[in-house]
A and B are shown apart, each in its own frame.
Chain A
Amino acid sequence: MALLEVEHLEVCFPSRDGEIRAVRDVSFTLERGERLGIVGESGAGKSVLAFSLLKLLSRPGRIVRGQVRFEGRELTPLSDRQLRRIRGNRVAMIFQDPLTTLNPVLTIGQQMIESLKAHRRIAARDARILALHKLRQLQVSSPEQRLEQYPHQLSGGLCQRVVIAIALLLDPDIIIADEPTTALDVTIQAEIIALLRQLCDKHNVGLIVISHDLGVIGQLTQRLLVMYAGRIVEQGPTREIINDAQHPYTQGLINALPQMTLPRQRLAQIPGNMPTLSRAPDGCAFHPRCRYGFTSSGQPRQDCRERVPGIIVSGDSQVACHWVQELIATAPVEEDMP
């Protein structure tokens, strides 16, 4: 049994022009101590997926179908009161911008200690000692002083360390990090990535990192989900996907990365934009932008326009693409893919 199992999860936001399905039929698992990445463009549904795991969706979003099981226990039917015991305690979250995540009018110490007191019967003095210990573990300088300070008095990198310290405060099983380094500058990014990696390994914490930055994901995760228009289009080992992406969308994403070896070249783009979720096209949502939307004879591929591609296994990865399916079906197994 995996630590976290998500099956056929669907999240909807009812709106005036129909329902917006932000997450569609998403299934994945996370093992204890595993580091999983979720990548995709803005609006692909990554953050919504992350927030839906603990039912933290803002109104009017809600889970309409599917299951989230944590240690085999189904989370979707739980009440807020029951979920509160898990939130922050067993499953912690790290948000994108540390400067807006911490409450500006409460001190670092207040916010660390309240986190502890929400889940443990602990005296304020002991909580303080524990908080100091965690800050030291995260190499926060002069931790005693930090406890008395307000978030605005700390730099972004330092704030994010505090947020990570809060996440680790209660020894969670899973940390969900939504763009944990996006708001930080590059040198700090590298530090935070190294820190997260090291701490998750040390405490055997499962990590889910959401990012649109393949660089971050590549350094931090072992397994990767690629999302497009609310669906997982490809998942597999991170190295595999970055080296040999199967899905045309993933290929496009990786081609769009700047190449150090080829300076002064225009970055490759995926033509077009991601569809708005209320008006996703029929069939494969990616087909209007796809290079492989045509058969070898130049005809538009009917399947892509009409049917949502099923998930097929290709090597260590799983891909949802009609083109890949056709390739696998027609090509001899030994031969390399074009």
Chain B
Amino acid sequence: MIMFLIRRLCQALAVMFVISVIGFAIQGGLGDPVQQMLGPTASEAESTTLRHSLGLDQPLWAQYLHFAGNAVRLNFGNSYFFHEPALSVIARYLPATLELVAASALLTLVLSVPIGVFCAIRPRSWPSKALMGLSVLGISVPVFLSAMVLIQLFSIGVQVTLFPADTQWGNWLNQLLSIEGGMPAYGRGNPVHVWGVWYTNFASLQGLVYLLLPALSLAFVMLPLFVRLIHAEMLDVLESDYVKYAKARGLRPSRIYFLHALKNTLLPVVTLGGVQIGTLVAYTLLTETVFQWPGAGLMFLDAIERADMPLIVAYLMVIGLMFVVTNTLVDLVYRLLNPRVILTRSVA
């Protein structure tokens, strides 16, 4: 157990190192921060002074060493734009992103397990065929499209005028098919301030309403994938000897499906799920842009536009860290689900 954690820590450090190098190496390609900060009218002398004060006149490797030395002390330097430590800028924006990710992960979980299980238990019924078909569509639709469709449907609304409005039935059908919209699709409303530092959308109804559309559109990234995975795994497990044996013992179907089969099905799902939480964070770039959700993704895009190097690198490091942490957590959860892992690891 302890060996496992130590090994994980070493891997994490290696990953972080590679991320920081890559982050730093792309610096040259992002434009000149000095010019961005001073504007096109600045004189040569002004920019030279600023360049020197920011340390940008030194060779790249020296800049990296300087950076790495500070990074070890969790000092990623001041954001060029915000003029405050990059980490505290991220700390300000990250909660919004984390809430978005948590909400959509929750939605994915709550929806995909029942759908996947249902489709596996009743593979021939029309709803499960329809759901499996939709899931293929869902995998292929990019997040910005699903986000815009959601906005059109539930925020702007759809006025159907397909049927003749002068007849009663036409009017009724038009009304029935029209969607009023009105769901907020911009920003996160007025999040409630809790625990001194955290602004949350979870603590009020209004907050949840603001959260719903962005979370849903982000959930559409993973939902089809998970439905398909759970469906495929479940079909496999249902063919296994232990499920047949459970049937032969006369157990109730609910127990066979939701204990015997589902617990085995969840093993690969947890693995994928953990990896995908990282991906979900990455996808918030798109979702946050479409919904103007004031999170770290939006901040990161702005930082790229401003060539705000310390902020970019700090963001990459934080996201990298999140990947590593979630993957480690997944391994730990996996052990809870799968007793066989404990044995092999503790022997090793």
Contact = CB atoms under 8 A, between A and B. Distances in A.
Contacts of B240: 100
Contact of A152 (B246, B255, B343): B343
Nearest to B266: A105
Interface stretch (B40-48, B187-195, B287-295, B334-342): B334-342
Task: Determine which residue in B245, B246, B252, B260 has the highest number of CB atoms from chain A within 10 A of its CB, and name it.
Answer: B245
A101 B245 contact: yes
A97 B241 contact: yes
Given A101-B241, A106-B259, A88 B249 contact: yes
Contact of A114 (B239, B241, B251): B251
Given A87-B247, A152-B340, A105 B241 contact: no
Q: How large is the interface on A (under 10, 10 to 19, 20 to 34, 35 or more residues)?
A: 20 to 34
Contact of B343 (A89, A92, A153): A153
Given A95-B245, A100-B240, A150-B340, A118 B263 contact: no
Contact of A105 (B247, B255, B338, B343): B338
B337 A105 contact: yes
B255 A114 contact: yes
A119 to B, nearest CB: 6
B337 to A, nearest CB: 7
A118 B251 contact: yes
A119 B250 CA distance: 8
Contacts of B249: 87-88, 92-93, 114-115, 118, 166
A114 B251 CA distance: 8
B146 interface: no
Interface string B277-319: 0000000000000000000000000000000000000000000
A86 interface: yes
A321 to B, nearest CB: 34
Contacts of A153: 343
* Residues of B contacting A: mostly: helix
B250 A84 contact: yes
A85 interface: yes
Task: Determine which residue in A85, A105, A114 has the highest number of CB atoms from chain B within 10 A of its CB, and name it.
Answer: A105
A283 interface: no
A127 to B, nearest CB: 14
A152 B241 contact: no
A56 interface: yes
Task: Determine which residue in B239, B246, B248, B259 has the highest number of CB atoms from chain A within 10 A of its CB, and name it.
Answer: B248
A88 B246 CA distance: 9
Interface string A75-91: 00000100111111100
A103 B247 contact: no
Given A114-B255, A153-B343, A101 B250 contact: no
A58 interface: yes
A93 B253 CA distance: 18
B251 A88 contact: yes
Nearest to B251: A118
A102 B250 contact: no
Contact of A87 (B250, B259, B337, B340): B250
B345 interface: no
Interface of A: 54, 56, 58, 80, 83-89, 92-93, 95-97, 100-106, 114-115, 118-119, 150, 152-153, 166
Interface of B: 239-242, 244-253, 255, 259-260, 263-264, 337-340, 343
11 contacts: A56-B244, A58-B244, A87-B248, A95-B245, A103-B246, A103-B263, A104-B338, A105-B339, A118-B249, A118-B252, A153-B343
